[in-house]
Amino acid sequence: MMMFDAAVGLGTHRMWGRVLVGAFTLAVGLSNSTVQADELLPVGDESAVASPQGQSASVSAHQASQTSEAKHSKRNEDPVIGRTVQAVRVAALPRQEKNEDRLLFNAPIFQPIERLGANDSGLIAIRINQLLGHPVLGNRVSNVVEPMLDSGWKMLVGGGTAPPRAALGITLENIDHLIGSMSFSLSKKKGEPGSDKNSSFSLGMTAGLISLNNPVNHDAIRNAINEGPFTAVLDHVFVDGAVTNELMLKSSANEGDSNMQACIQRGWQVVDGGMMTASIALPKTLGYVENERDQHIDDIFSCAASMAVGVDVQDAGPAEFRVVFVPVEGKTCAELKQALTAGMDLLKSEIASSSGNGQNVPNEAVLVTLQQTLDALQMKSMASEELGSRDYVELTFRVPLDVLMLPLQLNSGQGG
């Protein structure tokens, strides 16, 4: 609903946006074998035990192969069948086609606070293995992120003569998943009329963990970047003599606002289980209200304590989004839902007024798709004792895969 300049403020402990691109994407090269996903019980049941879907399929194939071989052997041993014996015809059973699409939001939920420490600003998780394994998104993501990794590695090693990252086994494909604690702020200040610099958006990472498929040698990597400019931060990451499947930087021991932390966790539990999850604390107010759009945003901020977003994608699309807003203390789901509905109505009207105003064909197609997405959006209020005492408002919608890929195409220079 609103565009903001990305004024990203990263201090010594908030440079994770780059450290995750550099030192924290340190990994050993992954072999060309693919990882077969397990079929899990529904998200939220932490006691769920995975039943290997791939194993059952292979067992069925093996049994079918044995049956076929037995029949073939039988025919070889008794090639002549008596014509006086009538063959018994058995009706063929209906074939059960294998469903290639996995269940969405079906991965076990992460517990970032338990791993990284208390956080009352925001959390994020990305399942890199799952994302890279997607038949369409995988290559696009790799093409965008790999150059960033190269730049991050050069930044970490400084002007030294460190070996290429591949020589140390540092590859994107070796990352299974990453989780992080975020610092987030959003505000708007009064400025010059029509200025696009009245808004401030800040996003950083205060702690993070990268889980690797294959272990890395801390000493080897640390020695390669010994002369780089970030050695003080990296001293908190690498452990002398360690060979581990994780690289982690914990945040300082700060409990923060326990009520806000509960709101962040509440939303997280509802939307986790897909390729990407984020949950953030929303500001109490936008600050300066300049127009009707600002007023709607400010109304939402006054009702919502936190927002969580989960994204998952089928092989052929579409992408499914789950968005959860947790109301602030003293506000009801009905009030929050009213504010969200008013904001959506304004967005729909702005899209409708933008259509046919000289936009080029691709932009028109995106506007039409966005309008259809908003029309099909589902909004409901939920209360579940299993997730705690707080109620929440949940929005669900789907986005076609080609629309989802537009940002990746623009970043990779492919366009269209």
Structural domain spans, the chain = 16-28+102-411
Tokens encoding 383: 């209360």
Give SS3 for 326. Answer: strand
Token output for 115: 């791993």
Assess whether pLDDT exceeds 90 at residue 36.
no
Q: What is the pLDDT of residue 235?
A: 82
DSSP-derived secondary structure letter, 386: G
**Would the pTM count as exceeding 0.75?**
no
Residue 285: DSSP 8-state: -
pLDDT value for 385: 53
For residue 47, what pLDDT band results from cuts at 50, 70 and 90?
very low
Token pair in block for residue 413: 């220079």
Span 336-361, average pLDDT: 83
Nearest to 204 by CA among 23, 20, 25: 20
Does the pLDDT at position 353 exceed 80? yes
> For residue 57, what pLDDT band results from cuts at 50, 70 and 90?
very low
E strand residue ranges, 57-112: none
Range 155-182 average pLDDT? 83
Structure confidence at residue 404 as a pLDDT band (50, 70, 90): confident
The tokens for 118 are: 């208390």
Q: Is the pLDDT of residue 278 over 60?
A: yes
Query: Among residues of the chain, what percentage have pLDDT more than 70?
Result: 66
- CB burial string 333-356: b at 16+ within 10 A, e below: bebbbebbeebbebbeeebeeeee
Range from 37-41, 230-234, 322-326, 328-332 carrying the lowest mean pLDDT = 37-41
Which of 398, 120, 119 lies closest to 274, judged by CA?
398
